[in-house]
């Protein structure tokens, strides 16, 4: 079974621009969660989508948004990029039959904001 | 305010010996705890988990211990192998908050041969 895939793997943007990251979950998984990893803050939860609905949201500004499509693929958008948005963005998928179902992570998208 | 803490940024162990990675948490309402391993340029890989109603879970070389009164959990790897060298993250879930994993900042384990 193919794992979680994320595209693109690397991205360079400038301040003020916007960016869209994509995540394809493991086949059959309906939940996709997004996380941000930075050296200072570590791994932080952004939001979770399940059945095309946002089910849970972390403590991030409204510039961070996402959506999920009917095939469970998910996109994450960051508008008006700031230098501090430079990070590794990870998505994770799970079956979501219970909140404790194992989350499987993709390799991440490394975003650099100049 | 960090709810999950891994106070040792790094740990060095010889091949064949035991590796013990520690994690402390502040929220006594956490329902579930997990350990993930991460290699550079890869996403975290799930290792082992434990429910808050248990005090031990074992899977091959990996054992997780939970001490609720001390709000402490530990991951034991026996025997340690060079391929275990990676960053290890402790994470917790609060059921009422959905699936959000709350991570510690990680411990880098180096296993030398």
Q: What is the pLDDT of residues A41-69, one digit of tens each?
A: 899 999 999 999 999 899 999 999 999 99
Residues in chain B within 8 Å Cβ distance of A103: 46, 99, 101
Give me the pLDDT at residue A88, please.
Answer: 96
Residue among A103, A107, A108 minimizing CB distance to B101: A103
Write down the pLDDT at residue B95. Answer: 72
A42 and B102 within 8 Å at the Cβ level: the answer is: no
Measuring CA to CA, which residue among A29, A66, A28, A60 is closest to residue A48? Answer: A66
Confidence at residue B41, expressed as pLDDT on a 0 to 100 scale? 82
Chain B interface mutation, best of A10, A24, A42, highest count of B Cβ atoms under 10 Å: A42
Within 10 A of A45 (CB to CB), how many other CB atoms are there?
23
Do B36 and B89 contact (CB within 8 A), yes or no? yes
Beta bridge partners of B64: B57, B75
What is residue A8's predicted lDDT score, i.e. its pLDDT?
Answer: 97
Q: How many CB atoms lie within 10 A of CB A69?
A: 12
pLDDT of residue A1: 65
CA dist B38 → A20, B5, B45, B109 (Å): 24, 17, 6, 10
Query: Could you tell me how far CA A27 lies from the centroid of its own chain?
Result: 17
A106 vs B contacts (CB less than 8 Å):
43
Nearest residue in B to A41, CA atom = B105
The pLDDT of A87-110, averaged and rounded, is: 90
> Are A90 and B43 within 8 A, CB to CB?
yes
Residue A7 has pLDDT above 90, yes or no: yes
Please give, rounded to a whole number of angstroms, the shortest distance from the CA of A113 to a CA of chain B: 19
pLDDT tens across B54-106, in order? Answer: 999 999 999 999 999 999 999 999 999 999 999 999 999 987 667 789 999 99
Beta strands in A2-113 (DSSP E): 5-7, 10-13, 19-24, 31-38, 42-50, 53-57, 64-68, 74-78, 87-94, 104-105, 109-113
Task: Specify the pLDDT at position A110.
Answer: 97
Size of the A and B interface in Cβ pairs below 8 Å: 65
């Amino acid at each position: 079974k193919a794992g979680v895939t994320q595209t693109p793997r690397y991205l360079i943007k400038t301040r003020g621009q916007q960016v869209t990251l994509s995540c394809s979950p493991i086949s059959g998984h309906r939940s996709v969660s997004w996380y941000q990893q930075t050296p200072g803050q570590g791994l932080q939860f952004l939001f979770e989508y399940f059945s095309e609905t946002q089910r849970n949201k972390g403590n991030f500004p409204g510039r961070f948004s996402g959506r999920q499509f009917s095939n469970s693929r998910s996109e994450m958008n960051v508008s008006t990029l700031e230098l501090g948005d430079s990070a590794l963005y990870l998505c994770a998928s799970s079956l979501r039959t219970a909140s404790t179902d194992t989350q499987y992570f993709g390799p991440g998208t490394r975003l650099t904001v100049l | 305010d960090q709810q999950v803490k891994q106070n040792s940024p790094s740990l060095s162990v010889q091949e064949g010996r035991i590796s013990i990675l520690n994690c402390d948490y502040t929220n006594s309402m956490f329902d579930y705890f997990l350990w993930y391993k991460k290699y550079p340029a890869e996403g975290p890989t799930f290792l082992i988990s434990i429910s808050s109603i248990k005090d031990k879970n074992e899977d091959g070389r990996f054992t997780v211990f939970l001490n609720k009164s001390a709000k402490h959990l530990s991951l034991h790897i026996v025997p340690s192998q060079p391929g275990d060298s990676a960053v290890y993250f402790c994470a917790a879930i609060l059921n009422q908050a959905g699936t959000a994993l709350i991570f510690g900042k990680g411990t880098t384990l180096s296993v030398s041969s």
